[in-house]
Amino acid sequence: MYKKLLLSFSILFLIQTCSLEASKQNNKETFTAVEELFSKDQDINYGKLYAHLHYTFNDPTLLRDALHPMLSRKWRSNKQQFDRLEWLGDSVMETIIIEKLLNIFPNDPRKHIDKIRSNLVENKTLTDVFYLNLDVEKYLPYPGKVEYKVCNVLEALVGAIRRDDIVNGHLNAEKFLMRLMDS
């Protein structure tokens, strides 16, 4: 009961915070890589990145595919794979969040639940979640002057985690997402 109540308050706080931030700023979705945020190393630090994500990939290629826009040409893979992971991650996130909200608000009308879901998965909210809880640049070599949308990277990471384990992928993606959103 306490955990359910805490999660409800966390969600409502996140929605209010993000709504205030969104009203203060125009479109903060696209970012240009800032050299100081990235590692001075020339390689991806997989060990520290896995620890930071609280997930170890069976297939590191999926992680690189998910981080595609934030990587230099040396580390980039196929953009089509990134797009697919982002698409999958978006769908997985929607499903996870809808399931959680249905459990938290079992008697509320769909319209109410959908409004909360919409606020939680919008690009500005995902961008805030990324920078509050996921900033992975410090484990990546500086890619040069590239632009990327961190909300898309977050979605792609959820998709990559889902695809990485055929048996437990959905559960792993749920744990990953809930750890980020509950923070």
Q: 65, 137, 155, 174: which is the annotated catalytic residue? A: 155
Catalytic residue among 65, 86, 90, 137: 90
Give CA–CA dist 177/92, Å, rounded: 10
C-alpha angle 28-70-38 in degrees, rounded to nearest 5: 90
Strand partners, 149: 30
Give Rg (Cα) of the chain.
17
Angle between helices 2-24 and 123-133 (to 10 degrees): 110
pLDDT tens digits, residue range 14-36? 444 444 444 334 444 788 999 99
Task: Give pLDDT tens digits for 57-114.
Answer: 999 999 999 999 999 888 887 899 999 999 999 999 999 999 999 999 999 999 999 9
Q: Is 155 known to be catalytic?
A: yes
pLDDT score at 18: 45
Residues 6+ apart with CB under 8 A from 152: 69, 86
- The per-residue b/e assignment along 57-78, b for 16 or more CB within 10 angstroms, e otherwise, is beeeebbbbbbbbbbbeebbee
**Among 6, 152, 14, 12, CA closest to 70:** 152
Instruction: Provide the residue type at 145 as one letter.
Output: K
Q: What is the pLDDT of residues 118-174, one digit of tens each?
A: 999 999 999 999 989 988 999 999 999 999 999 999 999 999 999 999 999 999 999
Q: Helical H runs in the chain?
A: 2-24, 46-53, 60-66, 79-104, 110-121, 123-133, 150-164, 169-182
Residue 122 catalytic?
Answer: no
Residue 25: the pLDDT is: 43
